[in-house]
Amino acid sequence: MQTLDLADIELREMNATLHAQAETTNQTAWEIVNPKGAHAIACGIDAPIEVTVKGSTGYYCAGMNKQATINIKGSAGPGVAENMMSGKVIIDGDASQYAGATGHGGLLVIKGNASSRCGISMKGIDIVVHGNIGHMSAFMAQSGNLVVCGDAGDALGDSLYEARLFVRGSVKSLGADCVEKEMRPEHLELLAELLEQAEADAKPEEFKRYGSARELYTFKIDNAY
């Protein structure tokens, strides 16, 4: 395993080293020590490598990730896995605001709780939260799946498009155009797969599904002025 110590090198040098890894690299395992809450750790990686961050991180850790598996052995600041394209990001602790925002693909696993706006404007990413999520989560979420093993805060799925939301606990309130929907066999199958990938101790049958009522983005002549 290759070790990058942020007590000895600059953040830019550390990220440049990870960016230099190619598709065919034989240096597939990396660890980052002494992160000390630094921002933009392990951003923009585009290689099939595994990176372990030994501690908590600041803003935008693992942003724009492609292919890599990034393990955060602590908590993550705002915007973790923002605009993620593929790969996997696992957070052992909690995540701050807008985790997984605008994510296009891949899997984000938060083993603690997530703050407000989790999955905002998600565009294909899968997010599994073992704990609770805050208010305005999945706001304007377009596609992908948000799975919450705990409770959800106010205005869940406000202005939702076609993302699927699964919540095991209570929902404080639903946002505009978000409604509870039938849980069909294909949803149970999908949910079982995501829970297994995220190593979440929950059963698909314990969840409710929420989605768009499709009223906000359907043109109606009565709404025209």
Binning pLDDT at 50, 70 and 90, where does residue 22 land? confident
210: pLDDT confidence band, cut at 50, 70 and 90? very high
DSSP assignments along 22-52, one per residue: -TT-S--EEEEE--TT-SSTT-S-BSS-EEE
Does the structural domain 2-212 have CATH classification 2.160.20.60? yes
Q: What is the mean pLDDT of residues 18-41?
A: 91
pTM of the model: 0.95
pLDDT at position 223 is: 65
Strands (E), 59-141: 69-72, 88-91, 107-110, 123-129
Across the range 102-129, mean pLDDT stands at 98
Answer whether residue 225 shows pLDDT above 90.
no
Query: Using CA atoms, how far apart are residues 44 and 63, in angstroms rounded to an integer?
Result: 6
pLDDT of res. 195: 98
Asked if residue 129 lies in contact with residue 149, where contact means CB atoms within 8 angstroms, the answer is yes
Which sequence spans correspond to the domains of the chain? 2-212
Q: pLDDT of 138-192, one tens digit each?
A: 999 999 999 999 999 999 999 999 999 999 999 999 999 999 999 999 999 999 9
Which has the closest alpha carbon to 129: 150, 145, 106, 144? 150
Q: What pLDDT digit, counting tens, does each position of 37-93 carry? A: 999 999 999 999 999 999 999 999 999 999 999 999 999 999 999 999 999 999 999
